[in-house]
Amino acid sequence: MSLNPKYPLYSSESTRLRSFDNWPRGLTQRKCDMVDAGFYYIGFSDKVVCFCCGGGLKDWLPENQPWEEHARWYQFCPYVLLVKGYLYVQRIISKECEINELDEQSVPNDLEDDEKRKCETLSETLQLTCKICLIEKLNTCFTPCGHAIACAKCVLSMNSKCPICRAVYRKVIRLYF
């Protein structure tokens, strides 16, 4: 997947956040959620635009969630696919048709097994954490070098070189674990 943002000036979350300085107070959508979903505010009404695909949305209802609306209306946006993934987009699109079933999960009986699982989970979490922000899950890979060290958000703020080997990367691929 190649990221060529339509509005590269708004690639930075901080720049997008500043655009929301005059966001209408009566709306339930939080500025940080809009920014996280890739939107910047154009300064008029409640109209927002995605920095990556250039798709715009307006007329926000209280129940509208920024990521869900972005995925629903612009399912091929490279930013949505990179950050949220194809399966998320498919889930949003088919949400109305989905029949919710009760998910049966087994409950661990043994406390030792539970503690062991917690340690294993912590170790896996540390291995799969973005090495740039140390917060988000590592979910991208540079090609052709193959290094996987960053989350989709941090990749957007990098120049065109892999931070590990300094090779120029051609594409960023979304990883699924």
Helix (H), strand (E) at residue 76: none
Q: To 5 degrees, how large is the angle CA 85–CA 176–CA 123?
A: 130
In three-state secondary structure terms, 41 is strand
Give domain limits for the chain: 8-97, 123-174
Q: Answer whether 54's CB lies under 8 Å from 6's CB.
A: yes
Proportion of the chain above pLDDT 90, given as a percent: 43
State the pTM of this model: 0.62
86's tokens: 């194809």
Q: Answer whether 161's CB lies under 8 Å from 142's CB.
A: no
Proportion of the chain above pLDDT 70, given as a percent: 81
Token pair 């590592």 in the structure block, residue: 138
- The superfamily CATH assigns to domain 8-97 is Inhibitor Of Apoptosis Protein (2mihbC-IAP-1); Chain A (1.10.1170.10)
Q: Is the pLDDT of residue 99 over 70?
A: no
The CATH number assigned to the domain with range 123-174 reads 3.30.40.10
pLDDT digits (tens, 9 = 90+) for 40-91: 999 999 999 999 999 999 999 999 999 999 999 998 899 999 999 888 988 8
Q: Answer whether 138's CB lies under 8 Å from 131's CB.
A: yes
Output the pLDDT for position 169: 85
